[in-house]
Structure 1
Amino acid sequence: HASQLPGKSVYDLSAGSGYIAGLFQAQGAHVHLFDLFPDQNKRSDLHCEKIDLQKPFPIADAAADIVICSETMEHLPDQHHFFRETARILKTGGRLLLTTPNTSSLRSRLAQFLGESEHYRPPLPNEHDAFVRWPGRTDGYFGKIFLSGLLRLRLLAALQGLRIDRVVKTRVSSTSQLLLITYPLIWFFSWRNYRRQLRAHPEQRTALTEIFQLNTSTGVLLSKHLIVEWVKG
């Protein structure tokens, strides 16, 4: 909430042009910009530092009230490392705001079934175009070959003590709306698995209930993108 931002330490780990950081700065937050390519920062007057999200973050423990990572997770081979480092730099009660393509949507599930691709696009990059290099540079990043659904992201975050506070609904996919005809099946099989696991592991009720709710959420199933907010502790 904007009223809670003044004075907060915000770390944008995928600052890009600096647009999102500027929004937080305008609300009175102390914003720190990082990106693999700092010279992308054209829309913020703040200094942007270089960061490789697959290496230890150059940020002190418990430094951040809020960490932002926008449209980057799908490019990271070691997502476990990302969540471990993010949890390290977050204060207790701090929040991670993450956006990524929604591979948990009905449209994405159909695309995976039909051609193992994202949203009816061509198949995943092959060895000739999997790694993207910027003109005149030797470093770069992987394309969208590490897409993760919400349940996998939830697990990786939970292992580091981060729990989902909310999943924000985004623009609805018309294809996913048409595929809602399959919702009764999704709900039935999710419920059946939930009940079976609960009988076998009653001590896991909280986690199993959250997984069931996420897997049957129409907001998740219909949205084109995931915007997820985690809290530490």
Structure 2
Amino acid sequence: MLKNFKSNYYSMNSATLSTDKILTKAATLAFENDPVVSTSLDIGSGSGALIALVREKAPSAQTYACDYIDSLMELKDQSVQVANLNEDSLPYGDNLFDLVTCTEVVEHLENYHRLIKEIARVLKPGGLVVISTPNILNLQSRLRFFKYGFWNLFGPLPVGRAERFSTVGHITPVSYFYLAHALAECGFKNIKVDFDKAQRSAIPKLIVFWPLIALATYFASGKERKKYKTIDSSNEEFVEKVNSLKMLLGRTIVVRAEK
């Protein structure tokens, strides 16, 4: 029944999901320290909107695009390599790119760890990756999970679904901790998280719940450190951000890391 849908369980930068704020934040993070970018790859290139932003910041860069289909691209001079990232490796050699961007993709994949390993392979030493995905740890999402058992933008999935580019294709909720952990496991360093925008509608709820969250975090973290030994110097910076005010308000996480 699914054989006609070669995209399988991932989609790329659909106009319905990848807003201007996400792409702008991704481009800003990628170039915040003025890196030299001569080659860049956008995984999930869609219409090419993020590639256009990269070209503005690095006009001489050679840009590459990878997607599950090539018909979405609107930049006439940009070719697209087609790949099914649930089954295929990235169709590029080792140590090729200064920058890899991947916005609103990992939540569509069966195994995002595999993609991160591939990104590490194709990046040059010292190269940068920027990844975005819905922030399932914001307060609105946590409350929805508490009430219904599903995170925001991750609802009940129809069996045999054909649509891969909308939230119907969201099959893998990835929290900031596990994304940062996967990057660190692949040797990435200087991992930084930012957000496309704050959910202002969550502020009244945050005023109510923040004291409880802060208190629970304090006691839970102590138990994790002393009793279960799950928090140490290798992961504490990621753990500390999980219940931060920015995490509780941010709509989409945008993560930057260096190979």
TM-score category by the smaller chain?
0.7 to 0.9
The structure, 1 or 2, with the larger RCO (C-alpha pairs under 8 Å, 6+ apart) is 2
Aligned 8 A contact 2:154 2:173 in 1: no
1:4 to 3, 23, 34: 34
2:202 maps to a residue whose letter is S
The residue that corresponds to 1:21 in the other structure is: 51
Matched, 1:219 2:246: yes
What residue ranges of structure 2 are gaps of 5+ in the alignment?
1-30
Q: Alignment partner of 2:163: what SS?
A: strand
Aligned 8 A contact 2:154 2:171 in 1: no
Distance 1:226 1:91, change over 3 A: same
The residue that corresponds to 2:141 in the other structure is: 108
Question: Matched residue pairs, number?
Answer: 224
The residue that corresponds to 1:179 in the other structure is: 205
Matched, 1:132 2:163: yes
Deviates more, 1:164-173 or 1:203-212: 203-212
Deviation at 1:38, TM superposition (A): 1.2
Distance 1:177 1:58, change over 3 A: same
Aligned pairs (5 A) from 1:184-199: 184-199=211-226
The residue that corresponds to 2:171 in the other structure is: 145
1:226 maps to a residue whose letter is I
Q: Alignment partner of 2:182: what SS?
A: helix
Deviation at 1:218, TM superposition (A): 1.3
What residue ranges of structure 1 are gaps of 5+ in the alignment?
135-140
CA offset digits 1:150-199 (Å, max 9, x no partner)? 11212222221123532123222134212212122222232323333333
Aligned 8 A contact 1:170 1:224 in 2: yes
Deviation at 1:122, TM superposition (A): 8.4
Aligned 8 A contact 1:11 1:67 in 2: yes
The residue that corresponds to 1:67 in the other structure is: 100
Moved over 4 A (4+): 200-204
The residue that corresponds to 1:48 in the other structure is: 80
Q: Alignment partner of 1:40: what SS?
A: coil
Q: Alignment partner of 1:56: what SS?
A: coil
Q: Alignment partner of 1:38: what SS?
A: coil
Higher strand share: 1
Distance 1:107 1:133, change over 3 A: closer
- Normalising to structure 2: TM-score of the pair? 0.77
Which whole-Å CA distance do the structure 2 matches of 1:101 and 1:122 have between them?
A: 9
CA offset digits 1:4-50 (Å, max 9, x no partner)? 35542111011000111011122222211111111210135211111
Which whole-Å CA distance do the structure 2 matches of 1:45 and 1:86 have between them?
A: 24
1:36 to 59, 68, 78: 68
Distance 1:124 1:203, change over 3 A: closer
Aligned 8 A contact 2:116 2:183 in 1: yes
Which whole-Å CA distance do the structure 1 matches of 2:199 and 2:49 have between them?
A: 25
The residue that corresponds to 1:169 in the other structure is: 195
Distance 1:203 1:184, change over 3 A: closer
Deviates more, 1:85-94 or 1:207-216: 207-216
1:149 maps to a residue whose letter is S
- Normalising to structure 1: TM-score of the pair? 0.85
Distance 1:155 1:188, change over 3 A: same
Matched, 1:93 2:123: no
Distance 1:152 1:212, change over 3 A: closer
Which whole-Å CA distance do the structure 2 matches of 1:196 and 1:118 have between them?
A: 26
C-alpha RMSD over aligned residues: 2.6
The residue that corresponds to 2:6 in the other structure is: none
Aligned 8 A contact 1:73 1:100 in 2: yes
Distance 1:8 1:185, change over 3 A: farther
1:155 maps to a residue whose letter is H
